[in-house]
Structure 1
Amino acid sequence: MRLCDEDIKKWILKKKLIITPTPNMKKIHGATIDIRLSNKFRIFKKSHDAIIDLNKSSENIKSVLKKNISDEICIADNKSFILKPKNFALALTIEKISMPNNLVGWLDGRSSLARLGLMIHMTSHRIDPGWNGKIVLELFNAGNFILALTPGMFIAALSFEILSGFSSKPYNYKNRSKYFNQESIISSLIYKE
């Protein structure tokens, strides 16, 4: 069962669902809460010879990913990040989310931004039970216009579903959860699988 706006407020006020900084309750609508874009981005270097062979050993993948294929940048709050058509970048939310073990979250883009071609996640829109950290957004400009993204803008919405019980193996259960307590934009750690 998906939480409605009033239930999202209750879960936040009772600190069952922790969102830091505490969100403006006016940004909870129907069944979602709006979240904002931070000023941190990760941009990928253009390379015509870099091949990441996902069928190779984890050491091979790790060696390619460790070759500094991207840079994390931080822009001033009053500046904009420019995302050109057909370009991909990672970004971070301002909000940090701490999920209880009986709740799963879903990240969705805003319709008004999608209508301009902005995708905010490629496939990873689930926020697992037991997750803690800031959310990395997978930005892609599928449109024909250059998009200027400003820190602090409302970029996405979260919704939440109650599980049938408490997860016996939540995200924080594993000793080495790859992205747990994420505060910065971590590149792919697929080689740790």
Structure 2
Amino acid sequence: MRLCDQDIEEWLIQKKLIIIPYPRKELIHGITVDIHLGNKFRIFYQHAISCINLSSSKEKISKDLKNTISDEKLFSKNNPVFLKPGSLILFSTLENITLPDNLVGWLDGRSSLARLGLMIHMTSHRIDPGWSGNIVLEIFNAGHLTLELSPKIKIAALSFELLSKSVKRSYSSRYESKYKIQNGVVPSRIYKEN
């Protein structure tokens, strides 16, 4: 069962579902909550290496990833990011989300942005029960025009599905969880770091 707007508001009031900053009523629609682009991103240095062998050792992949993606950078309305066609950039959401153990979140892009070729997640649109942090968005420009992105634009919507009962192994309780309490733009962790 998906939560409707009234349920979402009630879960927020009861702090079963936590979204910081707390969403204004006009951001909660039917079955979704609008979320915004944060002010952090990471770009890929496409010239650094030509290939990452996913069958390589943990150390080799970690080294390749460090040589391929930038440190976290800040951008602003006065200093926007220009996403060229065929480019992938990692961004984080403005909102920090915490889900209880009996709720799964679903991230969906906005249709109006998709019609311009903007994809806001490549495959990872499920937010696991017990997860907490900023959502990292794998934003790709599949269109033919460069797109200008600024912080705080409405970038996606979250919906929430109630589970039949609480999960036994929530995201925050699993040892192997790679992105616990994610803050900012965390790059790929093919292997969990120790």
Same fold flag (TM > 0.5): yes
Per the alignment, residue 55 of structure 2 pairs with 55
CA distance in 2, matches of 1:165, 1:8: 18
How many residue pairs align between the two structures?
193
Per the alignment, residue 180 of structure 2 pairs with 180
CA distance in 1, matches of 2:145, 2:48: 24
Deviations 1:81-121 (A, max 9, x none): 11111111000101000000000000000000000000000
Per the alignment, residue 150 of structure 1 pairs with 150
CA distance in 1, matches of 2:42, 2:112: 24
Aligned partners of 1:107 and 1:157 also within 8 Å? yes
CA distance in 2, matches of 1:148, 1:15: 35
Indicate the SS of the match to 1:70. Answer: coil
Per the alignment, residue 105 of structure 2 pairs with 105
Structure 1 residue runs of 5 or longer lacking an equivalent are none
Indicate the SS of the match to 1:191. Answer: coil
> Match of 2:73, as an amino acid?
I
Deviates more, 1:27-36 or 1:69-78: 69-78
Per the alignment, residue 21 of structure 2 pairs with 21
Mapping 1:134-173, distance limit 5 Å: 134-173=134-173
Q: Give the structure-2-normalised TM-score.
A: 0.94
CA distance in 1, matches of 2:139, 2:148: 12
Alpha carbons of structure 1 residues 9 and 78: separation in structure 2 relative to 1, 3 Å:
farther
Mapping 1:76-91, distance limit 5 Å: 76-91=76-91
Q: CA RMSD in A?
A: 1.5
CA distance in 1, matches of 2:26, 2:165: 30
Q: Give the structure-1-normalised TM-score.
A: 0.94
> Match of 1:149, as an amino acid?
L
Aligned partners of 1:86 and 1:143 also within 8 Å? yes
Deviates more, 1:173-182 or 1:147-156: 173-182
Alpha carbons of structure 1 residues 153 and 69: separation in structure 2 relative to 1, 3 Å:
closer
Deviates more, 1:5-14 or 1:50-59: 50-59
- How far did residue 150 of structure 1 move? 1.4
Structure 2 residue runs of 5 or longer lacking an equivalent are none
Aligned partners of 1:100 and 1:129 also within 8 Å? yes
Percent identical among aligned pairs is: 56
Deviates more, 1:21-30 or 1:111-120: 21-30
